Every structure is written in structure tokens, then in C-alpha cells.
Amino acid sequence: MLTNPMEPNQPDGAAVADYRQQSRIFLAHSRQFLAEDDLHQASEKGWGAAAWMAKAVAESQGWQYNKHDEFGTVLNNARRLTGDERLRGLRSIANGLHSNFYRRKFLLNAESIGVALDQIAVLLDILEPLTA
């Protein structure tokens, strides 16, 4: 049976659970990397935590998320759905962590990355209910 491309796909519960779980694992790994002063990996795992929870939301809600540039669209959709304006700033924090991966180490600040990871934890907590 053909599906209507204008209607959202049915969510894959196993994929949603996997994305959600991996998101939390990435956040834990980011904190380990931060403790080891591996600031590039701490940043990138923080970004990964945000991106994978966004993938869980997109899968659950029937939204598209196949490329990095769709992260912002998913977070904008989530903001409209939840009414939580914090998602605007949290989106920028996640993108900033991703950008850190491409910066030279002397330009990175462990304290700032730690604060950003705390904010990523807030982001995950806001998004996770949208995966149910």
C-alpha cells in the first residue's frame, strides 16, 4: 500500500527509544571527555546528545530529520508544539558545541563547555516528553 507523502509517517518506536537512549549516553560521554580535558570530543558529544534527542522527537512526531541542517527545523517545530521559548537559545548552544569541534584547542574554554553541557541536559529534558 502506498502512503500519502503529505501525511507524517508512523513512528518507529524502536528507533525513537534508540535515539533517546543514545542521546543520554552521548551526554554522559561528553562529561567524561570534559573531565579528561578533551574539549573537542566533549563538545561534539554534547552536540550529538542534542541531535539524537531531536532525531527521537522527529521520528516520534513524523517530522523529517536526515541532515544536520534540519536540526533547527525540528527544534523550531518543538518550540511551536511546546510553547517553550528556551528552545531558541538551546538550539544555539547545541550548534555552538558542534562548531567547537572545528576550533583550535586554545580557543576552547572548559568552563564554558561545561555550562553548555548543563544546558544540553535541559534541552534533552524539554524534548524527551515529545518522544512519548
Query: In which domain, by residue range, is 70 found?
Result: 13-131
What residue type is 48 in one-letter code?
A: G
Determine, yes or no, domain membership for 8: no
* pTM, entire model: 0.90
Q: Tens digit of pLDDT for each residue in 75-98?
A: 999 999 999 999 999 999 999 999
Determine, yes or no, domain membership for 28: yes
* Region for 83 from its dihedrals, namely left if φ exceeds 0, alpha if ψ lies in -120 to 50, beta otherwise: left
Closest CA to 127 of 38, 67, 69, 63: 63
CATH number, domain with residue 18: 1.20.120.330
Determine, yes or no, domain membership for 4: no
Determine, yes or no, domain membership for 117: yes
Q: 94 Cβ partners below 8 Å, 6+ apart?
A: 46, 47, 50, 51, 71, 120, 123
pLDDT at 54 over 70: yes
Mean pLDDT across the chain: 93
Tell me how many domains the chain contains: 1
Q: Please report the pLDDT score of residue 11 as a whole number.
A: 81
Closest CA to 52 of 33, 73, 32, 68: 68
Q: Tens digit of pLDDT for each residue in 96-132?
A: 999 999 999 999 999 999 999 999 999 999 999 999 9
Determine, yes or no, domain membership for 2: no
Determine, yes or no, domain membership for 116: yes
* 73-89 burial code (b ≥16 CB/10 A, e <16): ebbebbbeeeeeeebee
Determine, yes or no, domain membership for 6: no
Mean pLDDT of all residues in 65-77 = 94
Determine, yes or no, domain membership for 3: no
